[in-house]
Amino acid sequence: MVKILLADDEYRIRQIVKDFFCAKGYQVIEAEDGEEAIDLFTTEKDIALVILDIMMPKLTGWDVCKFIREHSNVPIIILTARGEENDELHGFNLGADEYISKPFSPKILVARAEALLKRNRTLTGENKVAGKIEINLLAHTVTVNGNKIDLSFKEFELLNFLIDNSGIALSRDKILNNVWDFDYFGDVRTVDTHVKKLRFKLMDCGDYIHTIRGIGYKFEVSEDEK
């Protein structure tokens, strides 16, 4: 069951949205303020879509959107009464995928959400297999030799990016820009740190990640393991 995080301080809005999504077979997790939204997103590792109101207590939807984008590429829909152009542009600049103004049609909201989910391949249940590693895009899980391993959001995204670019020597800057986004102000040593942790968690399959001296890293599975 695809899991959706809904954050809105209005109970009536949450109930309407939840009813429509549940009728379509989705699981909806509710948050009534920004802090709870971040707590739930951090705790629930397999959230496939986030719907955010802007004006919420404790932390705004902007704050939540920014936090999520720092950790994940999960689709985000901004659902708010603030329909000014500047607000909409701000939402897109923070990484939101859709911006829907209140009052809204629940049917249109569901349709746009499903379009986003399909675009991100989360509804296909498609798995990626590389040697002894298998990534489940729907569940956001990774198994090695059939055993599930726990990865952080960034470790998952790093592994996914490396597998998508198998056989290609990737510079640290390229990895940093694609996994941590272009506006990340950290150091390229962040890449080395995460690669080290990822190799350890992948156990024997950590050898798939090769260090390319003077460049960065390359993910490659040996011919006898393909």
Full pLDDT tens readout for the chain, 226 residues:
789 999 999 999 999 999 999 999 999 999 999 999 999 999 987 898 999 998 899 998 899 999 998 888 788 998 877 656 677 777 778 888 888 888 888 998 998 898 888 766 544 456 788 999 999 876 778 999 989 998 887 888 899 999 989 999 999 989 988 887 644 455 678 889 999 999 999 999 999 999 999 999 999 998 777 6
* Amino acid letter, 14: R
Instruction: Give the pLDDT of residue 122.
Output: 45
| Residue 44 identity | E
User: How many angstroms separate the CA atoms of 88 and 91, rounded?
Assistant: 5
Q: How far apart are CA 42 and CA 29, in angstroms?
A: 13
Which pLDDT score, from 0 to 100, does residue 20 have?
Answer: 94
Domain boundary among 96, 119, 142: 119
Q: What is the CATH number of the domain that holds 213?
A: 1.10.10.10
Print the domain residue range for 151: 127-225
State whether 114 and 200 are in the same domain: no
Q: Would you mind telling me the total number of residues written for the chain in this entry?
A: 226
d(CA 192, CA 187): 10
**pTM to 2 decimal places:** 0.55
CA distance 54 to 87: 10
pLDDT value for 13: 92
- pLDDT score recorded for residue 123: 42
Q: What is the structure's pLDDT at 85?
A: 67
Q: Do 141 and 61 belong together in one domain? A: no
What is the token pair recorded at 145? 């030799």
Residues 36, 54 within the same domain: yes
Q: Where is the domain boundary, 119, 142, 172?
A: 119
Whether residue 115 is found in the same domain as residue 133: no
Q: Residue 80 sits in a domain of what CATH number?
A: 3.40.50.2300
Boundary (domain end) residue, out of 119, 136, 164: 119
